[in-house]
Amino acid sequence: MTVDMSQELLSPLVQQAMQFAAIKHNGQKRKHANKKIPFIVHPACVGVALARAGYRDEIIAAGILHDVVEDCGVTVEELAKMFTPRVARLVGWVSEMRKDIPWEERKRAYRDKLKSAPVEALAIAAADHIHNLESLIVAYNDNHSVLKMFKSGMDLRIEHEKACEKIFVKRLKSPLCKEFSITLKKTAKLLAGK
């Protein structure tokens, strides 16, 4: 097999997004009962999923940056100055701006936002949800006590994911939709036996 190495592996924009996200998420960990998984694994996997699905660099960069507003105190305005206005807008679409309200209300507001979001933002959200569900499956298979780390019950979480699935299926024409549906079914089936 011959690989064309004449093109850069990562564009400067994607490299900059990865470096910025790694610095901002430094010290943060993913939810796992036995392992200390650096948080940056998640945005990196979201970026990889978007690249595999054929999205362009600005969408991939926004996918990598999707949690910096929500979890790191970065503003959408800062992202617009550092990256591009489009990257910043996309991150804004997929960010939950208020963590001080109850989980169910926050997730309802997030879904309402997705209903009018640009399709590129939906792709980022779908990739985010896919990786979160895949991570939950792996963590649960390692140690069932991981479920105690989540503030919401798993029934509510699966209900939220199913509501997101309806939005993705209705509006997003992407291989990410099918992958999300498959991953959600696997997760729901696994947790049904909890």
Question: Which active-site residues does the annotation give?
Answer: 70-71
Structure tokens at 35: 């392992």
Q: How many CB atoms lie within 10 A of CB 30?
A: 19
* Contact (CB, 8 A) for 23 and 96: no
CA angle at residue 75 from 26 to 40, to 5 degrees? 25
The residue whose two tokens read 């790191």 is 72
Look at the block and give the residue holding tokens 């979480």. Answer: 157
Cβ partners under 8 Å of residue 56, min gap 6:
none
Rounded distance between C-alpha atoms, residue 112 and residue 171, angstroms = 13
Judged by DSSP in three states, 38 sits in: strand
The DSSP string of 78-98 is HHHHHS-HHHHHHHHHH----
Give the C-alpha separation, 51 to 176, whole Å: 11
Our CA dihedral for 23, 123, 37, 189, rounded to 10 degrees, sits at 170
